[in-house]
Amino acid sequence: MKLGELLKSYRTEHKLSMDAFCELSDLTKGYISMLEKNEHPKSKKPIIPSYETIEKIAKGMQISVEALIDKLDDDQEIQINSTPPHLKSIAITHPLPDAPDSLTQQITDKVVQLTTSNKKIVLRTSEELLESQENEEKTKGNEVSENLISLYQVEIVSETAAACGFNYGFGYDDTDRETIEVDEQPPRHDIATKVSGDSMQPDYQDGDILYLVDKGLTTYNGDLAVIAYGDRSYFKKIYTENGRLRLVSLNDKYEDIILDFPPAEDTHIKIYAVVGVYRGE
């Protein structure tokens, strides 16, 4: 059975609405709908869930990841960047590397058991150690040609609506991803996304890459942020005012957007601080 079919069957059997399963799994309603339809609304291609999505659905079903994977068809594709334990022969969209050495395997076996927040800590620590290691190698005489341009891979999640059309955002989903190369080292960030539209001009242009960090919910006074609210997302300056959020565009032709804050109990909200921007050419 495909993941979307299994998910819909589970909700039907347990009489769970999409909103109810959102609360159990931390997935958005829009993404659950796409999973069950198994079709991306823009590309019309089948949905390929990430391993993190598999973990969230298993959490929502209150079963182990291994038990969920055992229920899936062998040809169910999964986006994966490391080798989780006990994966059966499910089709994987990215080829796995050669077998790691013993020490690397021990590290991997421990990391995959961590919570998502602890995995982020391990990732950031590893990046800092790697950066320190590279600096040490340079001081030992490793010279790089002046004509060589360093490129860094950045994974881009969806696009951030900077007020296109009628100033509405559109839904984040965690399968609409692409990897691009940039010639500037990115800052520490949780996710990256692209600006779409002209509402933040002249400072931010269509296609700019935003580096984002999840700092949790707080109060805001003109902070630049990407706001995922329900099944929509926005890139704006954000203010907290009398139990509401006011989202302000830099382009005067767009009106402010007002959102309840905190939102209704069944409404998903996530606010990411903008910590950097890459403009390319």
pLDDT in the model for residue 158:
66
User: Phi/psi zone of residue 197: left (φ > 0), alpha (ψ -120 to 50 degrees), beta?
Assistant: left
pLDDT in the model for residue 149:
56
CB-based contacts of 102, cutoff 8 Å, min separation 6: none
Average pLDDT, the chain: 79
For residue 92, what is the DSSP state? Answer: B
pLDDT over 60 (residue 93): no
pLDDT in the model for residue 109:
78
pLDDT in the model for residue 53:
87
What is the fold, at CATH topology level, of the domain defined by 152-278? Umud Fragment, subunit A (2.10.109)
pTM for this predicted structure: 0.44
pLDDT over 50 (residue 264): yes
Higher pLDDT, 78 or 261: 261
- Cα separation, 133 vs 68, in Å, equals 39
- What do you get for the CA distance between the two ends of the chain, in Å? 45
Helix (H, G, I), strand (E, B) or coil at 8: helix
pLDDT over 50 (residue 108): yes
**Interval 148-202: pLDDT, tens:** 556 778 888 765 433 332 233 444 444 467 788 888 889 998 888 888 888 998 9
pLDDT in the model for residue 94:
42
**Interval 196-252: pLDDT, tens:** 888 998 999 888 999 999 888 888 999 999 988 887 888 999 999 988 999 999 999
Q: Which helix (H) or strand (E) holds 102?
A: helix 102-111
**Interval 7-26: pLDDT, tens:** 999 999 999 998 899 889 98
Domain boundaries, the chain: 3-71, 102-139, 152-278
Structure tokens at 167: 């100033």
What is the fold, at CATH topology level, of the domain defined by 3-71? 434 Repressor (Amino-terminal Domain) (1.10.260)
Q: How far is CA 177 from CA 45, 154, 164, 197, in A?
A: 13, 10, 20, 19
CB atoms within 10 A of CB 99: 9
Q: How far is CA 27 from CA 32, 77, 213, in A?
A: 7, 19, 18
For residue 187, what is the DSSP state? Answer: P
pLDDT over 50 (residue 65): yes
pLDDT confidence bin for 140, thresholds 50/70/90: low
CB-based contacts of 187, cutoff 8 Å, min separation 6: 211, 275, 276
- Cα separation, 24 vs 35, in Å, equals 16
Structure tokens at 21: 């399963």
Q: Residue 213: beta bridge partners?
A: 273
CB 50 within 8 A of CB 78: yes
